[in-house]
Structure 1
Amino acid sequence: MNAFDDLMAFQRETEALAQVAGRLGWDQETMMPRGAAPQRGEEMAAMESVLHGRRIDPRIADWLEMIDEGHLDAAGSAQLRHIRRSHARASKVPAALAARIARVTSEAQGTWAEAREADDFKAFAPTLSEVITLKREEGMALAAGGDVYDAMLDDYEPGATGAELEAMFGALRPELTRLREAVRGAEAPPMLQGKFDESAQMKLTRQLAKTFGYDMSKGRVDKAVHPFSSGSGLDVRITTRTNETDPFNCFYSTIHEVGHACYEQEINQAYLLTPLGAGVSMGVHESQSRIYENQLGRSRAFAGWLYRQMRDAFGDFGVADEDTFYRIVNRVSDGFIRTEADELQYNLHVLLRFDLERALMGGDLQVDDLEAAWNDRFRADFGYDVDRPSNGVLQDVHWSVGLFGYFPTYSLGNVYAGCLHAALRRDVPELDAQLAQGDTSHATGWLRQAVQTHGGLYQPRDLMTRAIGQAPTEAPLLAYMTEKFSDLYGL
């Protein structure tokens, strides 16, 4: 075998082990008994030690040095780009630190869940302080004198910077706030009333997953506190949650996670268990989940189809017609929870977290002051007070597991989704007629060819530019939001 073949064989084993580690995380969120948390922390730390050792293996540098990239195709060159980047980043982080982060964040997840259930931020604060200390140490090693937050952001959105996102979000925030205030002054649609059997919800949610192209022979739908998607290639799993008075929570969480899952399932199978065999960034990943959930799933056309499915599943549930149902699905409502936020206000929840975590990583905000800072910012942005920590600073799992730099990719994904939606409607003029019949195949097929099949072949911004025909900006998202909610609320 030549150096490239040797390198790729080694890399496939590393990717396979990473999938095993991911499966441990899936089990921890869905099926693991609570008392197993300390042992799982040790298991995760052991896996991270093995993976970190492989990622910094000196043979990687030797193989990279021996490979003549001039003899590789575009995919081969892209494989090397990812491997070089991973090797360089991993080599900057001491193995002991990587293992300690894995152990502490695994245990912190259980501590967070208990504190959230007890509505006691002080019980979680010492653990969060330890996580932040470790992640800041990791960020300093990665930044090598540069911006620590940018180094952490690069894990999730290669090439992006905090300053760049701050400028983009700075353009979003005033326009979204203005539109929200106009909507709040208009007559609101009715709220969904009644109770909806949770087993019937799960039956319909599995139907929705298949409707959006999720291959259940290579995946499964389970329940978790925090919906998520896990895995890639031939084993991609999603979770959702149920609430007997709010079936939309289940249905749209499922559609959202199916967007993530279909991205992973539709990547070119030639890239399986290689660096190209996963979504290229979390921003691009989020673009798929958000366009599935919102621009497709909450569209007037698809909402009409879903209304008919719900009547079949639940009988007469008190909504007179498809138009009323569409307005209910897109109702703008006060609320605390990011994952339950309406489409219009969702990004305001993300921008709050982006600003706070940058301050935490920069040392401008201390953990002891975090709850008060969160509550103050929430009051300023939304106009009412957080009632308890589980509806505020304790609602998300991300910081407990060390995902600093992750939150802004949610809003970046919304920006990308806005751009993709405009291009999709340009290229598929019969989209609404298809969605009205519950046929998502043309839309998801377009997204598969434009984005999903490429996996990690292109850089994130390059992939988006190729897909939409120009550099992505926030303008299409704002135009879509303004048109949709002005129509819904008669503005």
Structure 2
Amino acid sequence: MSAFDKLMSFQRDTQALGQVAGRLGWDQETMMPRGASSQRGVEMAAIEAVLHARRMDPQVEEWLETAEAPDEAGAAHLREIRRSFDRAQKVPADLAKKLAQLTSEAQGKWASARADEDVAAFAPVLAEVVALKREEGAALANGGHLYDAMIEDYEHGTTSAQIGEIFDAMRPRLVNLRSAVLERPSPKGLQGEFDEPKQMKLARKVAKAFGYDMNHGRVDKAVHPFSSGSGQDVRITTRTSADDPFNCIYSTIHEVGHACYEQNVDKAYLLTPLGSGVSMGVHESQSRIYENQLGRGRAFAGWLFGQMSEVFGDFGIANADEFYAAVNKVHNGYIRTEADEIQYNLHVMLRFDLERALMSGDLQVSDLETAWNDRFEADFGYAVDKPSNGCLQDVHWSVGLFGYFPTYSLGNVYAGCLNQALRTAVPDLDQRLSKGDTSVATGWLQENLQQHGGLRSPRDTIEHAAGMAPTHEPLLDYLEAKFGEIYGL
């Protein structure tokens, strides 16, 4: 075997162990007994220790020094293995193990604190997570910008300054559009209660309509919807609410976007560094274009109206036009994952600024609830009513995902570019979507983006698919046109 072949064989085992760790995380969120969190933390730490040792094994560096790439994909493999190896070298093994154990335990404490509306019960363990993440960030930054080093884990090649510049450009148009829309009469909402088993049945049907392969996946319930896995085992979760079936349906479509990206990566890349989505921002572009530009578009919403009418009967909406307006209703609310397209990015910007302050030391965990509530009221015009609608609503900080939040809005920006290119390439797209046929849209995304996995950098991945460098303009143009029509602006 050549050095390249030996390296790839070693890497496939490392990737496989990473998938096992991911499966333990999925189980923790869906099926694990509540009292098992402490033991699960030890189990996760043990696997993380093994993974960390493999990622920084001296033999990897020896292979990297002598390996010759056979083709473009081989060169990309070497690039990504080198990037991972260099980063692993900077983080002490005992710190990686501590973080794995602590964040597993913190996740359980967050869930309990959220259920009990008790910030004080979660604050001490969050302070420990923040301290360890700052220690990790300092090691990774090696004298550079600590928060940029964290972003590198999720959107490599992007800095907090670049993100801040994009957000600063987006904010005025979003705020103006939000103000204009909220001055207009609000569309009708759904009426009645919606059987939750029926919601789950419909959610699975919609998942299949978007191309989710149930032979290699499953749909379960969790507090916070997520997608897990890659290749031949990609699982999603959703959640239900008796008075809001849109929560279930659109959370499912969103996670299906993530899952289909993973399922559609070229099978030749299975269990390799290229075998998953290239970044969290690009990943989010898939979930958001599935959920919003496709799923919340007038054409698909018309088909969904018929499906929901068959399942639930009369729910107070007279026709497809009213349903389309209800699907895209702009409304006051606290929860990021339930926010409309206009206000969603404002939620992300709030978190981006707060976690930057936490990582820099300008904000202490003891002051987080107050800082969150003050910023929320300033941005949205009303007060947070309870912690589960405020600083306890997201799981991300409990599991140490600092630097992750801004990728949600980057994903929206990328999705705007992709949607513009898709509609140029497929002029009869809405005619197909009106029949519940998403195949031409999802096929275009698979061919132009998803199948390539991590072959290119995040920005190059979007530019290759959309035919343009990423910019926020298509997203904002789309939002202003769509909501301008719905609200008669």
The alpha carbon displacement at 1:152 in A equals: 0.3
Matched residue pairs, number?
A: 489
What do residues 158-195 of structure 1 show as CA deviations (whole Å, max 9, x unaligned)?
10000000000101111101000000101110111100
Counterpart in the other structure of 1:472: 470
Counterpart in the other structure of 1:10: 10
Counterpart in the other structure of 1:58: 58
What do residues 214-271 of structure 1 show as CA deviations (whole Å, max 9, x unaligned)?
0000000000000000000000000001111000000000000000000000000000
Whole-Å separation in 2 of the counterparts to 1:68 and 1:469: 31
**Stretches (4+) displaced over 2 A:** none
What do residues 105-136 of structure 1 show as CA deviations (whole Å, max 9, x unaligned)?
00000111111111111111110000000000
Counterpart residue identity of residue 49, structure 1: A
Counterpart in the other structure of 1:119: 117
Whole-Å separation in 2 of the counterparts to 1:318 and 1:373: 40
Counterpart in the other structure of 2:20: 20
Counterpart in the other structure of 2:423: 425
Counterpart residue identity of residue 411, structure 2: G
What do residues 17-76 of structure 1 show as CA deviations (whole Å, max 9, x unaligned)?
00000000000000000100000000000000000000000000000111134xx20000
Whole-Å separation in 1 of the counterparts to 2:68 and 2:427: 46
TM-score by length of 2: 1.00
Counterpart in the other structure of 1:68: 68
Is 2:38 aligned against 1:38? yes
Q: Secondary structure at the match of 1:231?
A: strand
User: Among 298, 303, 306, which residue is 1:305 paired with?
Assistant: 303
Q: Secondary structure at the match of 2:14?
A: helix
Counterpart in the other structure of 1:482: 480
Counterpart in the other structure of 2:146: 148
Q: How does 1:81-480 map to 2 (within 5 A)?
A: 81-480=79-478
The alpha carbon displacement at 1:344 in A equals: 1.1
**Percent identity between the two aligned chains:** 70
Whole-Å separation in 1 of the counterparts to 2:136 and 2:181: 43
Q: Secondary structure at the match of 2:341?
A: coil
Whole-Å separation in 1 of the counterparts to 2:113 and 2:172: 34
Give unmatched runs, 5+ long, in structure 1.
Answer: none
Whole-Å separation in 2 of the counterparts to 1:265 and 1:62: 32
Whole-Å separation in 2 of the counterparts to 1:39 and 1:472: 44
Q: Secondary structure at the match of 1:97?
A: helix
Whole-Å separation in 2 of the counterparts to 1:61 and 1:254: 41
Root-mean-square deviation (CA, aligned residues, Å) is: 0.5
Whole-Å separation in 2 of the counterparts to 1:270 and 1:236: 17
CA contact under 8 A between 2:230 and 2:275: conserved in structure 1?
Answer: yes
Whole-Å separation in 1 of the counterparts to 2:182 and 2:453: 40
The alpha carbon displacement at 1:390 in A equals: 0.7
Counterpart residue identity of residue 67, structure 1: A
Counterpart residue identity of residue 456, structure 1: G
Whole-Å separation in 2 of the counterparts to 1:470 and 1:335: 34
CA contact under 8 A between 2:188 and 2:317: conserved in structure 1?
Answer: no
The alpha carbon displacement at 1:90 in A equals: 0.5
Counterpart residue identity of residue 19, structure 2: Q
Whole-Å separation in 2 of the counterparts to 1:298 and 1:333: 15
Whole-Å separation in 1 of the counterparts to 2:293 and 2:173: 19
Whole-Å separation in 2 of the counterparts to 1:229 and 1:40: 20
The alpha carbon displacement at 1:279 in A equals: 0.3
Whole-Å separation in 2 of the counterparts to 1:294 and 1:222: 22
Counterpart residue identity of residue 77, structure 1: A
What do residues 282-307 of structure 1 show as CA deviations (whole Å, max 9, x unaligned)?
00000000000000000000000000
Whole-Å separation in 1 of the counterparts to 2:189 and 2:209: 26
What do residues 314-368 of structure 1 show as CA deviations (whole Å, max 9, x unaligned)?
1122210000000000000100000111111100000000000001001111111
Whole-Å separation in 1 of the counterparts to 2:160 and 2:245: 36
Q: Secondary structure at the match of 2:246?
A: helix
Whole-Å separation in 1 of the counterparts to 2:252 and 2:370: 33
Whole-Å separation in 1 of the counterparts to 2:201 and 2:372: 37
Counterpart residue identity of residue 58, structure 1: P
Q: Secondary structure at the match of 1:344?
A: helix
Q: Secondary structure at the match of 1:257?
A: helix
TM-score by length of 1: 0.99
Whole-Å separation in 2 of the counterparts to 1:378 and 1:317: 32
